[in-house]
């Protein structure tokens, strides 16, 4: 349902309204993520002692084949009130992605409290499987086309933390890592929440000022010996307009039991940090009048390209 909505700026925006289940589903997806990823859990706990934790976005990875691609997980978010926004392309990685903006919610209906903060954006990518070698395509299609199909229920598989295909074989995983780490990650993690992103720009106990909160958070995490992703040569990714700053941890690595009981270490999920600066046209607004709608929107291909490396098994190191 569409409802006219008054933004803090006073203008009326045409916006979807949230389904009352939305917050519960997001919380449900966070549960296996926090349980299985000790670094993400630790970060949420140490930052949570100091600040209210709010999420900028939730991200998922998919195989772009018959019913398993972006649409398979986007469908539920669209039904819950999300709106599809820009496409992002990563030709070298053979990936594409869309981001989705959240609906507005009637707080009294959703059971959300003020401390739950704004609803997160959603970022969903897919591997352009057709562009891989015949060998890699055959491996992926083996899992996505044999047996009973669970296509169309991607969100369910994320909630209960299970793979929508049979237990992978170690040799298939190893073969995929040679060609696409993203493919190998998706084979063993499926629709598990790939990462969630903590909003840093409204933190009150870190340094204020343009981009400062994120820099301060990164220094803090570095001192706490959290392993941060240094792909691209820096721990902090800055968009060309300087208004979107992002950093991420390196994914935890854990043993995975492959078909036949073979065990090998695989990367799991990671956690990200985002800082959205106030747009130049609003920079004279007093801080207490600044809402999300006055800040930089969207995503940035250059930043994302480095953030994808958070699940890489070849670790890149950088200092702040």
Please choose which of Ni ion, ligand OOG, none residue 194 contacts, taking the beta carbon within 5 to 8 angstroms, the exact cut-off set by kind.
ligand OOG
Query: What minimum distance in Å lies between the beta carbon of 43 and ligand OOG?
Result: 15
Residue 155 is inside which H or E element, if any?
helix 154-159
Q: How many residues does the chain have?
A: 320
Give me the residue whose beta carbon is nearest to ligand OOG: 304
* 66 within 8 A of 145, measured Cβ to Cβ: yes
* Closest-CA residue to 46 (of 202, 194, 203): 203
Residue 22 vs 59, nearer CB to ligand OOG: 59
**Does 272 engage in binding with Ni ion (CB under 5 A)?**
yes
Please enumerate in sequence order all residues whose Cβ is within 8 A of that of 178, keeping only pairs 6 or more positions apart, or say none: none
Query: What minimum distance in Å lies between the beta carbon of 100 and ligand OOG?
Result: 13
Rg (CA), the chain: 19
| Residues engaged in binding ligand OOG (CB under 6 A) | 59, 61, 123, 125, 194, 246, 272, 299, 303-304, 307-308, 310
Please choose which of ligand OOG, Ni ion, none residue 308 contacts, taking the beta carbon within 5 to 8 angstroms, the exact cut-off set by kind.
ligand OOG
CA–CA gap between residue 20 and residue 24 (Å, rounded): 8
Query: What minimum distance in Å lies between the beta carbon of 194 and ligand OOG?
Result: 5
CA–CA gap between residue 117 and residue 272 (Å, rounded): 17
Identify residues 36-75 at the interface with Ni ion (CB under 5 A).
59
* Closest-CA residue to 229 (of 182, 275, 270): 270
Binding track, positions 177-216, relative to Ni ion; x by CB under 5 A: --------------------x-------------------
Query: What minimum distance in Å lies between the beta carbon of 272 and Ni ion?
Result: 5
Residue 56 vs 216, nearer CB to Ni ion: 56
**Does 309 engage in binding with Ni ion (CB under 5 A)?**
no
CA–CA gap between residue 298 and residue 308 (Å, rounded): 16
Residue 158 vs 197, nearer CB to Ni ion: 197
Residue 59 vs 245, nearer CB to Ni ion: 59
Query: What minimum distance in Å lies between the beta carbon of 242 and ligand OOG?
Result: 16
- Tell me the torsion sign for CA atoms 226, 216, 32, 180: negative
Residue 176 vs 274, nearer CB to Ni ion: 274
Query: What minimum distance in Å lies between the beta carbon of 284 and ligand OOG?
Result: 29
Residue 199 vs 303, nearer CB to ligand OOG: 303
Please choose which of ligand OOG, Ni ion, none residue 63 contacts, taking the beta carbon within 5 to 8 angstroms, the exact cut-off set by kind.
none
**Does 300 engage in binding with Ni ion (CB under 5 A)?**
no
Residue 236 CA, chain-centre distance (Å), reads: 16
Please choose which of ligand OOG, Ni ion, none residue 303 contacts, taking the beta carbon within 5 to 8 angstroms, the exact cut-off set by kind.
ligand OOG
CA–CA gap between residue 285 and residue 268 (Å, rounded): 41
Q: How many other CB atoms are found less than 10 A from the CB of residue 10?
A: 6
Three-class secondary structure assignment of 244-272: EEEEEECCCEEEEECHHHCEEEEECCEEE
- Residues forming contacts to Ni ion in the complex (CB under 5 A) are 59, 197, 272
């Amino acid at each position: 349902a569409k409802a006219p909505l008054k933004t803090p700026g006073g203008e009326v925006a045409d916006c979807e309204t949230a389904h009352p289940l939305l917050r519960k589903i997001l919380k449900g997806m966070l549960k296996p993520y926090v349980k299985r990823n000790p670094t993400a859990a630790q970060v949420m706990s140490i930052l949570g002692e100091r600040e209210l934790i709010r999420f900028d976005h939730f991200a998922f990875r998919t195989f772009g084949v018959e019913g398993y691609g972006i649409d398979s997980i986007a469908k539920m978010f669209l039904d819950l009130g999300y709106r599809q926004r820009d496409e992002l392309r990563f030709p070298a990685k053979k990936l594409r992605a869309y981001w989705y903006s959240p609906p507005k919610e009637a707080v009294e209906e959703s059971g959300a409290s003020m401390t739950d903060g704004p609803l997160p954006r959603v970022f969903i990518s897919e591997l352009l499987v057709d562009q891989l070698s015949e060998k890699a395509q055959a491996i992926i299609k083996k899992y996505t086309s044999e047996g009973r199909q669970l296509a169309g229920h991607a969100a369910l598989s994320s909630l209960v933390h299970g793979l929508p295909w049979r237990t992978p074989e170690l040799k298939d995983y190893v073969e995929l890592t040679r060609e696409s780490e993203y493919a190998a990650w998706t084979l063993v993690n499926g629709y598990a929440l790939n990462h969630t992103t903590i909003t840093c720009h409204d933190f009150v106990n870190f340094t204020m000022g343009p981009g400062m909160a994120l820099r301060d958070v990164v220094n803090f995490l570095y001192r706490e010996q959290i392993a941060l992703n240094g792909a691209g040569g820096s721990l902090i990714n800055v968009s060309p307009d300087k208004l979107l700053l992002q950093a991420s941890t390196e994914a935890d690595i854990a043993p995975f039991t492959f078909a036949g009981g073979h065990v090998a270490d695989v990367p799991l999920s990671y956690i990200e940090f985002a800082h959205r600066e106030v747009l130049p046209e609003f920079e004279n607004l007093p801080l207490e009048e600044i809402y999300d709608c006055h800040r930089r929107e969207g995503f940035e291909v250059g930043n994302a390209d480095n953030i994808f490396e958070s699940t890489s098994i070849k670790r890149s190191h950088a200092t702040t």
